[in-house]
Amino acid sequence: MHREIRNVMEDPPPPPPATETPAEAAAVAELFSEHRLGLVRFAFLLLGDQETAEDVVQDAFAAVHRRWSRLADRDRLLPYVRTAVLNGCRAVHRRRAVARRFGVEREAPFWSAETQALLGETRREVFAAVRGLSRRRREAVVLRYYLGLSEAETAEVMGVSRGTVKSTVSRALDALAGKLKEGR
């Protein structure tokens, strides 16, 4: 048994990925500079936590950089990164659900004075209502109306059909309207 463990430990590490060209590095850097802020906002709306949202977006761009040589359609990097951010947010929600099962509660988002000044009361109410939606409905609403994606683009990012996007968004908007009426 010790011999098997030792053999695994002595195996050489995998070779480093092929080096990228300056043009490839520039393409990822340009995508990052153009879309990072919007993707962080997208992740923030799904997670309610700025630091975690930034981590998820950073991880998504790191994955693009790592997998550059294996990406089949490099002209469609933004949808790929959006999907990676969405999947990262889903992974965070799963980890949080496991933590809740073990009695570890996450603190609610902290609204600093600066944040409260920037977000009006109505926007905070809408944000809270969106945060109260189920994960799937929240994802659909944020992709459709915050990022302004079409139904087809939203379906592609979520990995569902256009009909599912339509029905999910419709139900989410009904739920939001009900929550916001209750609050007033």
Q: Which amino acid is at 88?
A: G
- Which residues are CB-contacts of 64 (< 8 A; sequence separation ≥ 6)? 28, 31, 71, 77, 80, 81, 84
Q: Which domains does the chain have, with CATH numbers?
A: 19-110 (no CATH), 113-184 (1.10.10.10)
**Full-model pTM:** 0.66
Cα of 65 vs its chain's centroid, Å: 17
Burial class (CB in 10 A: 0-12, 13-18, 19+), 66: exposed
Q: Say if CB 177 and CB 149 are below 8 A apart.
A: no
Each of the 184 residues of the chain gets a pLDDT tens digit; together they read 444 444 444 554 444 445 567 777 787 888 888 999 999 989 988 888 888 999 999 999 888 888 777 777 777 788 889 999 999 999 998 988 888 888 776 665 555 665 566 556 667 788 888 888 998 999 999 999 888 899 999 999 999 999 999 999 999 999 989 888 876 6
How many CB atoms neighbour CB 3 within 10 A?
7
